[in-house]
Amino acid sequence: MIHPTAIVDATAEIEDGVEIGAHCVVEGSVRIGAGTVLRPNSIIRQYTTLGQGNYVDSFAALGGLPQDRKFDPRTVSYLHIGDQNIFREGVTISRATGEGAQTLVGNNTFWMANSHAGHNAVIEDEVVLVNGALVAGHATIGRRATLSGNVAVHQFCWVGELVMTQGLAAFSTHVPPFVMVANINRVVGLNKVGLQRCPYITELDRHQIKDAFRLTYRSGLTPTQALAELDLRADLGEPCKRYREFIRRVLQATRPFARGLCPRRRGRELD
């Protein structure tokens, strides 16, 4: 179903059941999976792949040139998007810098109006970006994280699994899994509601994550010392292991990813 006013390049690969609305533009070397819907005036740029069942609302532009002064437009780089994602009005996502490199979006993500991800970013499954959320280049947003309204994530930063953010927050440091963050680079507690609602987090997992959080943020230990304590625990479940390995990855990171661990807010905690 392609509206007669849409412009679709002859080299684009369009699977069955795709709906392309009025005045859409689909450039060359694009693949669009079955059941995807492009609402009027949306744009899919060159070298973009969309999986099955995606919804792209009006004035979204996916796969645009990186916002990088050094980028050579002749570079062949990609935006790869999985299945069942929702991109509301005005969403923008850049393809990668670097020959053959990719910006990656997983499955079942929800991008509200005017949210953005820059070149070489990785947005994992089930992430929610609320209106105006901004993810800079080379950043990674972990599974089931929520970036609230107008949140800004600095380039080369990692935001862990199931992180919940306060609106207008911003980070230039790495945010570990399962926490709540607010203001500028401040961890304020655990995402207790998210942990309770998550179908793959058990009660034992929650207890282990709470203890790991205590070691990292409330014990007076340095992150290196807290990691050493966690390495002594032989019975950790997979979610707590992911928390531990995130801390290890931050401590071992080299430039430009050596951005340190997001610190704790002084004063009353929220968990």
End position of a domain, from candidates 116, 138, 160: 138
Contact indicator for 99, 111 with CB cutoff of 8 Å: no
Is 128 a domain residue? yes
Do 13 and 131 belong together in one domain? Answer: yes
- CATH number, domain with residue 33: 2.160.10.10
Is 186 a domain residue? no
pLDDT in tens, 51-84: 999 999 999 999 999 999 999 999 999 999 999 9
Is 166 a domain residue? no
Phi, psi of 64 (to 5 degrees): -70, 165
In the chain, pLDDT over 90 holds for what percent of residues? Answer: 97
Range of the structural domain that residue 227 is part of? 196-252
pLDDT in tens, 192-243: 999 999 999 999 999 999 999 999 999 999 999 999 999 999 999 999 999 9
End position of a domain, from candidates 117, 138, 159: 138
Is 146 a domain residue? no
Q: Is the pLDDT of residue 267 over 60?
A: no
- Please name every residue paired with 13 in a beta bridge, in sequence order, or none if there are none: 31
Is 129 a domain residue? yes
Is 149 a domain residue? no
Q: Is the pLDDT of residue 110 over 50?
A: yes
pTM: 0.96
- Predicted local distance difference test score (pLDDT) of residue 266: 57
- End-to-end Cα spacing for the chain: 50
End position of a domain, from candidates 94, 122, 138: 138
**In whole angstroms, what is the distance from residue 71 CA to residue 109 CA?**
27
- CATH number, domain with residue 233: 1.20.1180
**In whole angstroms, what is the distance from residue 243 CA to residue 209 CA?**
8
Total of domains in the chain? 2
